Amino acid sequence: MRFLLDSGQRAFADALHAMLTAADTPAVIRSWSRGDHARGRALWSRIAEAGVFGLAVPEEYGGAGPHPVELAVAFVELGRHAVPGPLAETVGAAVLLGDPPLAERFLPALASGERPATVAAPGGYALDGDAVSLCLSPAPEGLYLSTVTPGPVRRSLDPARRLARSAPGGELLAREAPYDRALTWIRLATAAQALGVGLALLDRTVTHVRRRTQFGVPIGSFQAVKHRLADAKTALEFARPLLFGAATTLRPAEVAAAKLTACEAAYRTARTALHLHGAIGYTAEYDLSLWLTKARALRSAWGAPEECRDLVLTDGLQETDGQPEADAW
């Protein structure tokens, strides 16, 4: 029992954070939102070089994985910088394609960042399907390699998320694919990303309320402001151990609980951030909006709150889920 990141994991987070800070992600996000993917692809390569996608890919296919804890560490940083693109989906693709012979065919390019991938949610959208050449569609008959339906992508409330549709059919890659396991990894990555988004929103808002003056004092000295931020901090800090617990056990119910909790905490923090920034926070041109809108979008991606709660109630969260005597109560 040692439930802490080790120094290597912390150093990995710090390195990613430094790299992403230098990359000026807001500018990258804005061009990605306009459908100009060049800068995003370049950033993608650097993230891959740092080994992020390889964490979901076994060594024999060019990765270093599977390392779910390190993956969660990395995705917190990706969320903190609001990196655009089908990040969690690429992780999901690595799991879907994890068995030979597909693994040999696809994984090396996926781990190296050469080939970002997306996964079409059953009945839903293929995130950023217009930006990738590898679009997987899980279907009852098996796993398809799809093309994206031509036509304009749908606008998301998060302008950096481009909602495409995959065309039905395509190349049938496998009759059976580990969709449930892939979903667990996608949710884990999404939870981590949401936590990072929430942490960034909190940081920016704390900075804002210390600077912004109204009625002659920083608004951060008003108790109502302080308490909202204290609640946001508490929600995020209790989501964090759920995330790393889920990364450690990879049990689907734990991952669902982490996904729900991190997304709720991030969304509540977004509401607080918006409110405490006032009108400026409500504008698209202020960078805060890039995180605000992502917090909302992640909440319903890959498992709405209700779905996550169902899994918790059905499967339970503890392996040793002691059932107390009913008659004692």
Partner 1 sequence: MDLTHSPADEEFRGQARAWLDAHVPRTPLPSLETEEGFAAHRAWEAELAADRWSVVSWPERYGGRDAGLLRWLVFEEEYWAAGAPGRVGQNGIGLLAPTLFAYGTEEQRARVLPPMATGEVVWAQAWSEPEAGSDLAALGSRAVRTDGGWRLRGHKTWSSRAAFADRAFGLFRSDPETERPHQGLTYLMFDLRAPGVTVRPIGRLDGRPAFAELFLDDVFVPDEDVIGEPGQGWRIAMSTTADERGLTLRSPGRFLASAARLRHLWRAQGSPGHARDRVADALIAARAYQLFTYAAASRVLDGARLGPESSMNKVFWSELDLALHETALDLLGAEGERADGAWAEGYVFSLAGPIYAGTNEIQRDIVAERLLGLPKGRR
Chain residues binding a copy of itself by CB under 8 A are 222-224, 227
User: Of these, 95, 242, 263, 273, which contacts partner 1 (CB under 8 A)?
Assistant: 242
Give residue 154's identity as a one-letter amino acid code: R
> In terms of CB distance, is 167 or 231 closer to partner 1?
231
Q: What is the nearest approach in angstroms of partner 1 to the Cβ of residue 26?
A: 15
Site string for partner 1, 91-130 (x = CB under 8 A): ------------------------------x--xx-----
Number of residues that bind partner 1 (CB under 8 A): 89
Q: Residue 66, preceding bond cis, omega within 30 degrees?
A: yes
Beta-bridged to residue 146, according to DSSP, are 135
> In terms of CB distance, is 181 or 233 closer to a copy of itself?
233
Q: Which stretch binds partner 1 (CB under 8 A): 10-18, 35-43, 183-191, 218-226?
A: 218-226
Residue 181's Cβ-count burial label (10 Å; 0-12, 13-18, 19+) is middle
Q: Please report whether residue 257 would count as binding partner 1 according to CB under 8 A.
A: yes
Structure tokens at 103: 């693994």
> In terms of CB distance, is 59 or 203 closer to partner 1?
203
Cα angle 102, 105, 106 (rounded to 5 degrees) comes to: 85
> In terms of CB distance, is 105 or 226 closer to a copy of itself?
226
> In terms of CB distance, is 171 or 323 closer to partner 1?
323
What letter does residue 208 receive in the DSSP assignment?
H
> In terms of CB distance, is 37 or 161 closer to partner 1?
161
Give the number of other CB atoms < 10 A from CB of residue 203: 13
Q: What is the nearest approach in angstroms of a copy of itself to the Cβ of residue 306?
A: 18
Structure tokens at 255: 């991952």
* Residue ranges in 301-320 that form contacts with partner 1 under rule CB under 8 A: 301, 304-306, 309-310, 312-313, 316-318
Cβ-based neighbours of 220, under 8 Å, separated by 6 or more: 206, 209, 210, 212, 226, 229
Residue 300's Cβ-count burial label (10 Å; 0-12, 13-18, 19+) is middle
Cβ-based neighbours of 215, under 8 Å, separated by 6 or more: none
User: Of these, 163, 179, 180, 208, which contacts partner 1 (CB under 8 A)?
Assistant: 163
